[in-house]
Amino acid sequence: MKRENMLIEADELLKKVGDKNIRIFDATITDDVYLEQHVPGTVYFDHDRFSVPDSPYTCTILPVDQLAEQIGKAGISNDSEVIVYACGMIPYAIRAWWVLRYAGHDNVRILNGGLTAWKNAGGTIEQTSRQYEPAVFASHVRPGMFASKDEVFASMENKDVAIVDVLPPVSYEASHIPGSINLSCMDLMDGDFSQGFESLKPVEQLVPHLAEVANHKRIITYCGGGIAAAVNAAAHLLTGHEDVAVYDGSMYEWLGEKMPVVGTGKWEVWKLK
């Protein structure tokens, strides 16, 4: 996938604000940051809206028909140009991008650098909470973009499939899916944990980080609850590997369903922020 098909830079977005066909969403995990400041015209992307409401695990993707309905209710049609970003943590925006692309939307991009890049480019901000008029969205699902618990289990000893834990080494060492490889998503983003991660590294820097995994036929990424895993999955797409999936339930489901693990100790919840 070409970088310009996944990411949009702030200077390009500056030229698009006000376009009647554009739909901009702040996918930050809570709406308090959105209410404080956002790109003019932006609507809050509520991850819960696109997740199974009664699931015991976080961010469990809705069934396709319900997902399409919620995308339409959010004001997104198949013809809409969609831009997503997240304040301080690009993984949340990448997760939103992953969900919309899984549903079949082909014109979705992530604001590289988030709100910081927008302001640095001279963009103004607003605090007005907004909603788009409901639209109709017809799904054309890409089923291979998400992996189930059963697929992960069946892939543990399949040498053609790489199962990748994207959490920091300390989490991986404590507990991980047998046979999985550790490749922290932090190595694929620019920034740091104290200041936030708001952009992906350039493709030429991603390639060497992903080299160990890239020679597998299929790649399945996982994390705690299906958010950070989207970073590595998207990075693989950017560097030319198309058969990539996010294990949606990730460690919350894997542990909750008493699936086998290996490690040195008790796995603890690790959150991006």
CATH number at 88 reads 3.40.250.10
Q: Please, which residues have CB within 8 angstroms of residue 172's CB and are 6 or more apart in sequence?
A: 165, 180, 182, 263
Q: Determine contact, residues 170/265, Cβ cutoff 8 Å.
A: no
Residues 68, 129, single domain; the answer is yes
**Residue 173 is assigned to a structural domain of this protein:** yes
- The crossing angle, in degrees rounded to 10, of helices 90-103 and 64-73 is 110
**Residue 261 is assigned to a structural domain of this protein:** no
Residues 85, 135, single domain; the answer is yes
Q: Tell me how far apart the alpha carbons of residues 79 and 68 are, in angstroms, rounded to a whole number.
A: 14
Residue 182: strand pairing partners = 165
What's the pTM? 0.95
Q: Tell me how far apart the alpha carbons of residues 103 and 99 are, in angstroms, rounded to a whole number.
A: 6
Residues 134, 9, single domain; the answer is yes
Q: How close are the terminal C-alpha atoms of the chain, in Å?
A: 29
- Which one of 100, 120, 141 terminates a domain? 141
The domain tally of the chain equals 2
User: Which pLDDT belongs to residue 273?
Assistant: 38
Phi-psi group of 99: left, alpha or beta (phi > 0 → left; psi -120 to 50 → alpha; rest → beta) = alpha
pLDDT tens over the chain, length 273 residues: 999 999 999 999 999 988 999 999 999 988 999 999 999 999 999 999 999 999 999 889 999 999 999 999 999 999 999 999 999 899 999 999 999 999 999 999 999 999 999 999 999 999 999 999 999 999 999 999 999 999 999 999 999 999 999 999 999 999 999 999 999 999 999 987 667 788 999 999 999 999 999 999 999 999 999 999 999 999 999 999 999 999 999 999 999 999 999 998 877 665 543
> What does the DSSP 8-state code read for residue 257?
T
Burial 240-267 (b: 16+ CB within 10 A, else e): ebeebbbbbbbbbbbbeeebeeeeeeeb
Residues 183, 132, single domain; the answer is no
**Phi and psi at residue 117, in whole multiples of 5°?**
-65, -40
Cβ-based burial of 107 (10 A; exposed 0-12, middle 13-18, buried ≥19): middle
Q: Tell me how far apart the alpha carbons of residues 225 and 243 are, in angstroms, rounded to a whole number.
A: 21
Residues 247, 180, single domain; the answer is yes
Q: Tell me how far apart the alpha carbons of residues 134 and 74 are, in angstroms, rounded to a whole number.
A: 6
> What does the DSSP 8-state code read for residue 188?
G
**Residue 178 is assigned to a structural domain of this protein:** yes
Name all contacts of 16-19 with Cβ < 8 Å and 24+ positions apart: 16/81, 16/83, 17/41, 17/123, 19/81
The domain of 61 spans 3-141
- Which one of 125, 141, 157 terminates a domain? 141
Residues 35, 123, single domain; the answer is yes
Q: Tell me how far apart the alpha carbons of residues 164 and 229 are, in angstroms, rounded to a whole number.
A: 8
